[in-house]
Amino acid sequence: MNMLCGIDEAGRGPLAGPLVVAGVVILNKIDELDDSKKLSEKKREELYPKIIKNTKYHIVFKSAKEIDEKGISSCLKSSIQEIMENLKATQYLMDGNTSFGIANLEHKIKADATIKEVSAASILAKVSRDRYMYEIADNFKEYNFDKHKGYGTKAHVEKIKLHGRSIEHRKSFKLKALGEENMGVQKSLF
């Protein structure tokens, strides 16, 4: 029997917060799955417990510190490998345009919109990351993480200009808006 494990991530590009990668093997049918970006936050929250209940899943968090130390690609690769070790399947499919040199990992652009296992992984990753950003928001009130969830909005960049970076910020992600030079780790984002 073919068992597909869909894999997707949330948080590859933000200035703050973790990278979250999820893997999902669906056991029972789940209706209304789609790319997490196409669903409202309310709909994602409704689907989250249904996915948890009807799948085998594994979710990996990589902190801003790990991203700074190892690089985003390395964090993605090790997260995918951890999922593959923890979820046994006959096929592994990652949303996107690369398999990070991992044997037995297939990739497909927009798989999160067309393959239900990847859609489910997309939702688990996004909801898990958003919940984390909501949880830490009270400890970092000056950054309004609950509003932008660490993404590089103009308002967030202004908060970084005013307060500097917190321990939740990725220091390797350089900002042109702050006059920072590209250090070769990550392209300047603004």
CATH number at residue 18: 3.30.420.10
Residue numbers of the domain that contains 122: 4-137
Question: Tokens 């044997």, residue?
Answer: 103
**186 in a structural domain:** no
Contact 115, 27 (CB under 8 A): no
Are 115 and 155 found together in one domain? no
Question: Tokens 């510190």, residue?
Answer: 65
Distance in angstroms (rounded) separating the CA atoms of residues 108 and 100: 13
Are 126 and 32 found together in one domain? yes
Task: Please give the DSSP secondary-structure letter assigned to residue 182.
Answer: P
Are 100 and 74 found together in one domain? yes
Are 41 and 90 found together in one domain? yes
**Terminal C-alpha separation, the chain:** 48
- Structurally, how many domains does the chain consist of? 2
- State residue 176's pLDDT score: 78
Are 91 and 34 found together in one domain? yes
Q: For the whole model, what pTM was predicted?
A: 0.92
Q: pLDDT tens string for the chain (190 positions)? A: 789 999 999 999 999 999 999 999 999 999 999 999 999 999 999 999 999 999 999 999 999 999 999 999 999 999 999 999 999 999 999 999 999 999 999 999 999 999 999 999 999 999 999 999 999 999 999 999 999 999 999 999 999 999 999 999 999 988 877 777 654 444 434 3
Distance in angstroms (rounded) separating the CA atoms of residues 126 and 48: 10
**99 in a structural domain:** yes
Distance in angstroms (rounded) separating the CA atoms of residues 19 and 66: 9
Question: Tokens 């399947």, residue?
Answer: 89
Look up residue 45 and give its two tokens.
């929250």
